[in-house]
Amino acid sequence: MISSEFIKQQALKVGFDICGIARAGSMPQMLDRLNLWLSKGYHADMEYMAQHVEMRCNPGLLVENARSVICVAVGYKPDRTMNGPIKIAQYAYQQDYHETIKAKLFALIAAIKEEYPDFEAKPCVDTVPISDKLWAAQAGLGWIGRNTLLVTPSMGSYVNLGELVTAEECDSYDHPIENRCGECQKCIVACPNQALLVGETLENGQRIPLLNACRCNAYNTIENRSENLTESLNLQGYAFGCDCCQRVCPYNQQSLPKIMMTDSELQQLERLPNADASTFRKIVKHRALNRIKYGQWVRNIDKIKKTLSEDQYSFKKPL
């Protein structure tokens, strides 16, 4: 049996901001939530989301005899945002979180093995079929807000997530915390395409927030590979991802910046709208921006130029 406190101490030492541990097992409520979302067609053409659905809610199908899910988060709120007329989601400002979090997870495994040599775990960062947000909520890192993102008390939803799934038993486990959104619906109002739904009802009567990806700027600017985007889609200046629902969240507004942006880093990002294909690929190589091709980037920028005038843009430091 492994000390949960030891794991959390090591997680902070290797660079994670928060860590919680959930007991692995089948989670029917997670499965109901995902199946409802899929049944509505809200995953658009992201067919990979309809694969391994049970595995996402049951780590025992991912790791044999899984007993613990060690959930971690890293905050990414920058102290400054881009000033030009074209924006990208703030999580993409820095190096690709898939790379940085995976490196930290391997460092955490190594640190735990110093004390427990037989410790083994599978590191998970977004691409592995496990529900990052739902397991992070199960481990008490935060709750699922009306923006359908994990909202943490200290960093809001400006967090990237990762997990270690292990067959090792821990000496204690964390529990979900209560949803603290209250009656606030600022994120729902702020969405320029009404992609956030107030709530859908599960068979057990629970109402849960859902995201219709078909209307979401993040889906359309990143996952949508169509030559043209829907004419009515309002990108609000975002050529990659979208922060509209996050910028208005009270928990994000009161959280402290985690990333200090240099002038040169901001200038490099602001050169992107005018970059040719070669420059674009060079700049985005180790960023989450690498998720899209240059053709998609140009498509997104062209749509912004056609639908928004400059006085519709607002560039401020994160609140």
Report the catalytic residues: 126
Q: Which residues of 235-255 are buried (b: 16+ CB within 10 A; e: fewer)?
A: bbbbbbbbbbbbbbbbbbeeb
Q: Six-digit token pair at 38? A: 């899929």
Q: Give the chain's count of helices (H) and strands (E).
A: 12, 10
Q: How far apart are CA 231 and CA 92, in angstroms?
A: 25
**Largest Cα–Cα distance of the chain, in whole Å?**
60
Q: Among candidates 206, 208, 180, 211, which has minimal Cα distance to 195?
A: 211
* DSSP type of residue 170: B
Q: Which residues pair with 166 in a beta bridge?
A: 68
Question: Which of 100, 118, 96 shows the shortest CA–CA distance to 109?
Answer: 118
Which token pair is 298?
A: 């140009």
Q: How far is CA 303 from CA 98, 135, 306, 309, in A?
A: 28, 36, 5, 11
